[in-house]
Amino acid sequence: MSPAEAQRLARLHDRLLAALQANDRAALRCAQQEVLQAAFTPTGTPALRRALRALVWRMAALLPATRRSIRRYD
């Protein structure tokens, strides 16, 4: 993988983590779509596509916590 491809992968990973930490669903959805689009387009080297697809699997677990009200039942 070239240094430019490694930087691209790192940038996408950082965007995913930043959106998750900010608990910003819109930013997370946007970052996820960008990763999916990059992973399944024919451009890039096979190493980059493999790394992006691995990131796709990892990001599947990245869901911000939902804000639920806790109700007490007596």
The verdict on pTM exceeding 0.95 is no
Residue 65 falls within a domain, yes or no? Answer: no
The pLDDT, as a whole number, for residue 22 is 86
Cβ burial of 37 (10 Å; 0-12, 13-18, 19+) is exposed
Residue 36 falls within a domain, yes or no? Answer: yes
Residue 15 falls within a domain, yes or no? Answer: yes
Residue 69 falls within a domain, yes or no? Answer: no
**Phi and psi torsions of 42, nearest 5°:** -75, -5
Joined together, the tokens standing for residue 24 give: 């910003």
Residue 64 falls within a domain, yes or no? Answer: no
Q: What is the domain count for the chain?
A: 1
Considering the chain, what percentage of its residues have pLDDT values greater than 70?
81
- Domain of 13, in residue numbers: 3-59
The pLDDT, as a whole number, for residue 70 is 47
Residue 68 falls within a domain, yes or no? Answer: no
Residue 40 falls within a domain, yes or no? Answer: yes
